[in-house]
A = this chain, B = another copy of it.
Amino acid sequence: MIFSALPQYVVDAAEWFSGNVADPKKRVCAAARRPIRDLREIEGALLVCSGLVAITSVDGSGARQTVGLRYPGELVVPFCTSRNVLIETIQNSVLDLTDIAAFAAALSEKPEMESVLRSVGNRDLAIASEWLARSGFRDAISRLAHLLCESYCRMGVDPGDALMLPFTQQQLGEITGQTSVNVNRMMAQLGRAALIERAGRAIVVKDWLGLTRLARFDAAYLR
């Protein structure tokens, strides 16, 4: 892998969470494309052991916009109790859940984790800001390219390797702010431009440099 894995503080947070917080340990296997209703009920936090989790804002009219993704090893710390925010699985996932009380209790026992969690929060904010910039002044195809680049990095996949993209085109649209119809056309265009090669949902990047240039992708914000 040419990419560094997750930053150290993310790893630290995950290890602390899985060792000290998720107690009583509640590990669940969630099917793909399912809202995690447990989490909303207990107002808790979770660790993505494997799979992929989306944080999606749902409009009154049913429109949906994903505002964050959590890859394996990353935490979902509740930052917004808004009723119209859903936590959903993208693919089959294994998750460690906890309620907010246990989370707070474990934190007060180990206050040095506060600063680690603050770093994790800063990273989440940096990613959200990058998404905002992306959705602001990039066109549809660049936004998709950017998401591909980010996914490769956050999953620690080498660009030369195939990436089994867990997203449906509908979900890609919810993340990048466009319709699934347009996602389809843009993905086809990425293929025609020889930047990627597709076989179903599997993706191989044929021209990483070209893809990052199109997306104006700079991985600095992931650390």
Q: Is the CB of A125 within 8 A of B177?
A: no
Which residues from chain B contact A79 at a C-beta distance below 8 Å? 122-123, 125-126, 129
Task: Choose one: B55, B60, B80, B115; the contact of A216 (CB below 8 Å).
Answer: B60
A114 within 8 Å of B by Cβ? yes
Which residues of A, 5-64, contact B by the 8 Å Cβ criterion? 55, 57, 59-60, 63-64
Counting chain B CB atoms within 10 Å of each CB, the highest count among A57, A118, A136 belongs to: A136
For A107, A128, A129, A220, the residue with the greatest tally of chain B CB atoms inside 10 Å of its CB is: A129
Q: Which residue of B lies closest to A123 (CB)?
A: B79
Given A114-B115, A118-B118, A129-B55, A135 and B216 contact (CB-CB distance below 8 Å): no
CB-nearest residue of chain B to A62: B137
* Contacts of A82-130 to chain B: CB distance below 8 A: 82, 84-85, 107, 111, 114-115, 117-118, 121-126, 128-130
Q: Are A67 and B129 in contact (CB under 8 A)?
A: yes
A128 touches B118 (CB 8 A): no
User: Which residues of chain B have C-beta atoms less than 8 A from A137's C-beta?
Assistant: 59, 63-65, 177
Instruction: Judge if A68 is at the interface, Cβ distance under 8 Å.
Output: yes
Q: Which of B59, B122, B129, B177 contacts A121 (CB 8 A)?
A: B122
Do residues B121 and A65 form an inter-chain contact, with CB atoms below 8 A?
Answer: no
Name which of A59, A68, A115, A118 has the most chain B CB atoms within 10 A of its CB.
A118
Q: How far apart are the CA atoms of A125 and B143 in the complex, in Å?
A: 21
- Complex CA–CA separation, A121 to B77 (angstroms): 12
Which residue numbers of A lie inside 8 Å of B, CB to CB?
Answer: 55, 57, 59-60, 63-65, 67-68, 77, 79-82, 84-85, 107, 111, 114-115, 117-118, 121-126, 128-133, 135-137, 174, 177, 216, 218, 220-221
